[in-house]
Amino acid sequence: MPEYTPTIGLEIHAELKTLTKMFCNSKNDPDEKRPNVNICPVCMAHPGTLPVINKAAVRHMIRIGLAVGGTIADFTEFDRKNYFYPDIPKGYQISQYKYPIVTGGTINGVALTRIHLEEDTARSQHGTGGTSLIDYNRAGVPLMELVTEPVIKSAKQAGDFARELQLVLRYLGASEANMEKGEMRVEANVSVSKDQDKFGTKVEIKNLNSFNVVERAIKYEIERQIDEIENGVKVVQETRGWDDGKQKTYSQRVKESSHDYRYFPDPDLPKLKLSEIEEFKQLKETLPELPWQKRDRLNKEFGLREEAVEIFVTDHPIGKFFEDTVKGHESDKEFVSLASNYITSDMLALLKLEDPTADIGEDEVALRMFKISATDFAELITMLKEGKVSSRAGKDILGALLRVGGSPKEYAEKHTLLQKNDEGELEKIIDDIISTNEKVASEVKAGKTAALQFLLGQAMKVTKGSANPAILKSLFEKKLLS
Ligand code: ADP
Ligand code: MG
């Protein structure tokens, strides 16, 4: 019996970072807590008002399109998508239908259908007892919608796609794309089929507000559809929601199709010939290094562990700190790997950022960021590399200086953490220990390795942990075993 093949296509919305809204001068401020303060006659749909295109939003769209290798439309226009709901005061949403700004392109090898520009709707809050509250601060905020081809094959691949899109948007400064805040919203279309050449009926799942939920909802939906078919029930094309409490999708409504919206070009807005607009011509040159380029470069240049690369690619400030630290030491493999390990394990643990995929905005990370400078941190790495401090002391120094800064060398000197590497000095200590522990020493001579551990422990105690354990061991062995 052939297995079922799942097919997934994503539709992802992201609020663009601009000073003002898509078609008026009201502020675009996703952090505004007071309802209905960033509104004006245009976004409140007063009669007689006219929309004006926000060029900054179009600019973001073109840069996103260029970054993902899509085709930027020469001609583009805005359409009215008509529907009645209180979250859309005009009775229609300005969107793009026939001529999206971007077509094609790929992210993570997943083919994109299109990326178009539209306006966000108001935020509605449905209370108990039939009351609904509406906040129009979000109405008219520039929103991009990205649609993928139905080529995604698993929940994990869908989650990874969304994560990568979030990264690109952040790298481009196009959106904070924080899912918990609703700045990025994922809808997943899911179908299953036994026949490789024919898709099954698709179901759309809405309101997926974290990467984990995206993956769990898709997984659940694949299983549900297979069960239905196996039980002889036809999958209905519908929109389903995700119930986080029950960890299930549930039916919301039978999906409307595009002709229900009566799309038509908005007569109030000019059509755009993008290739002729001067300020959009050189945008390719403004693209930063993109996540996949950075990943490649870190791999090639430093040969880091994959998890470390991922941390530096996802977490911009931490990635920058790593690169600043290793500046000038690029060819020193040991230095680079020590620095990478200390940052990705000890430093992250100290920063309570054990989960590198945590969906935290950059500012927030920066706030929690360390005070220790990359130069001082590099000094610590050099000391570790040269055995001037033990790895235990290294962690202590890092812990002490992380939030206050300062020279690791001075700190180590002040707190007598410098490792004793001087063989002459250590030899005297060892002689003392051997003469006060003659019985144990003879056991070592008789081949009892546990006894050697005891002597080493004594030496560490006497030196308050500051002796270089490798040197100690070899000195003991020289004295007792040769
Ligand atoms: P609609 O007209 O219902 O909006 P579209 O053709 O515009 O459908 O596709 C919407 C999304 O659904 C796209 O992301 C697309 O990749 C995805 N999709 C289309 N058909 C399927 C299918 N059979 N299974 C899974 N996803 C699909
Ligand atoms: Mg569609």
Q: DSSP string of 266-277? A: -TTS--EEGGG-
Q: Is 202 in the pocket of ligand 1 (CB under 6 A)?
A: yes
Instruction: Give which of 217, 222, 230 is closest to 192, Cα–Cα.
Output: 222
| Residue 150 CB–ligand 1 contact under 6 Å | yes
Residues 6+ apart with CB under 8 A from 133: 35, 124, 125, 127
| C-alpha 198 – ligand 1 centre gap (Å) | 13
In this predicted structure, the answer to whether residue 354 has a pLDDT above a threshold of 70 is no
Strand, helix or coil for residue 111: strand
Given 227, 250, 283, the domain boundary residue is 283
Q: Are 65 and 105 in contact (CB under 8 A)?
A: yes
| In a shared domain, residues 133 and 83 | yes
- 191 Cβ below 6 A of ligand 1: yes
Distance CA 324, CA 346 (A): 18
Which one-letter DSSP state was computed for residue 130?
G
| 220 and 315 both lie in a single domain | no
Domain stops at, among 240, 263, 283 = 283
Nearest-CA neighbor of 294 among 164, 180, 176?
Answer: 164
The 10s digit of each residue's pLDDT in 8-46 is: 999 999 999 999 999 999 999 999 999 999 999 999 999
CA of 180 to the centre of ligand 2 (A): 24
Stretch 374-390: mean pLDDT: 92
Measured in angstroms, how far is the CA atom of residue 48 from the centroid of ligand 2?
31
Same domain for 73 and 115, yes or no, is yes
Cβ(193) to ligand 1 under 6 A?
Answer: no
For residue 279, give the nearest of 55, 470, 119, 473 by alpha carbon: 55
pLDDT of residue 117: 98
Mean pLDDT, residues 135-142:
98
Nearest ligand 1 atom to alpha carbon 204:
12
- CA 439, CA 442: separation in Å to the nearest integer? 5
Closest residue CA from atom 17 of ligand 1: 9
> Which whole-number Å values give the CA distances from 315 to 185, 203, 335, 355, in the listed order?
21, 34, 21, 11
Q: Which two tokens stand for residue 107?
A: 């992210």
- Kindly state the average pLDDT of the residues 328-352: 90
| Residue 463's pLDDT band (cuts 50, 70, 90) | confident
Nearest ligand 1 atom to the CA of 258 is: 2
261 in contact with ligand 1, CB cutoff 6 A: no
Q: What average pLDDT does this structure show over 261-280?
A: 96
Q: What pLDDT is recorded for position 482?
A: 76
* pLDDT for 294: 97
State whether the beta carbon of 12 lies less than 6 angstroms from ligand 1.
no
371 and 431 fall within a common domain = no
Strand bridging mode 203-208 / 239-243: parallel
Ligand 1 pocket, mutate which of 112, 189, 205, 235 (most atoms under 8 A from CB): 189
For residues 389 and 396, what is the distance between their CA atoms, to the nearest angstrom? 10
In this structure, the answer to whether residues 149 and 276 fall within a common structural domain is yes
From the CA of 8, the nearest ligand is: 1
Residues 162 and 298 in one domain: no
> Does 180 lie in the same domain as 265?
yes
pLDDT mean over 294-298: 96
pLDDT-based confidence at 363, cuts 50/70/90?
very low
With cut-offs at 50, 70 and 90, classify the pLDDT of residue 2: low
User: Which ligand lies nearest the alpha carbon of 95?
Assistant: 2
Do both 469 and 330 map to the same domain?
Answer: no
The mean predicted confidence, pLDDT, of the chain is 91
pLDDT of 1 > 70? The answer is no
For a substitution probing ligand 1, which of 202, 221, 226 has the most ligand atoms within 8 Å of its CB? Answer: 202
Mean pLDDT over 232-240 rounds to: 95
Q: Of 248, 283, 318, which residue constitutes the final position of a domain?
A: 283
Average pLDDT over residues 380-393: 89
Rounded to two decimals, the pTM is 0.86
The confidence band for 177, taking pLDDT boundaries of 50, 70 and 90, is very high
Residues 184 and 272 placed together within one structural domain of the fold: yes
**Sole residue written with tokens 């036809």:** 234
Distance 258 CA to ligand 2 centre (A): 7
Does the pLDDT of residue 359 top 60, yes or no?
no
Residue 157 contacts residue 276 (beta carbons within 8 Å): no
Which DSSP helix (H) or strand (E) runs through 184?
strand 184-193
- What is the percent of the chain where pLDDT is above 90? 71
Q: Express each pLDDT in 448-458 by its tens digit.
A: 888 888 998 99
Same domain, 110 and 26: yes
Contacts of 371 by beta carbon, 8 Å cutoff, 6+ apart: 401, 402, 403, 404, 405
Confidence of residue 367 (pLDDT cuts 50, 70, 90): very low
State the total domains in the chain. 3
In 3D space, the residue among 288, 280, 278 whose CA is nearest the CA of residue 73 turns out to be 280
Does the beta carbon of 149 sit less than 6 angstroms from any atom of ligand 1? yes
Radius of gyration of the chain (CA): 30
What is the per-residue pLDDT for 392? Answer: 83
Q: Would you place residue 346 in the very low, low, confident or very high pLDDT band (cuts 50, 70, 90)?
A: confident
pLDDT at 258: 67
Residues 309 and 336: beta-carbon distance below 8 Å? no
Residue 168 shares a structural domain with residue 314: no
| Selection from 419, 386, 415, 388 nearest residue 399 by Cα | 415
From atom 22 of ligand 1, which residue's Cα is the shortest distance away? 202
Closest atom of ligand 1 to 190 CA is 25
Same domain? 26 vs 173: yes
CA of 99 to the centre of ligand 2 (A): 14
Domain with 127, as residue range(s), is: 5-283
Q: Which protein residue's CA is at the shortest distance from atom 8 of ligand 1?
A: 257
146 CA distance to ligand 2 middle (Å): 10
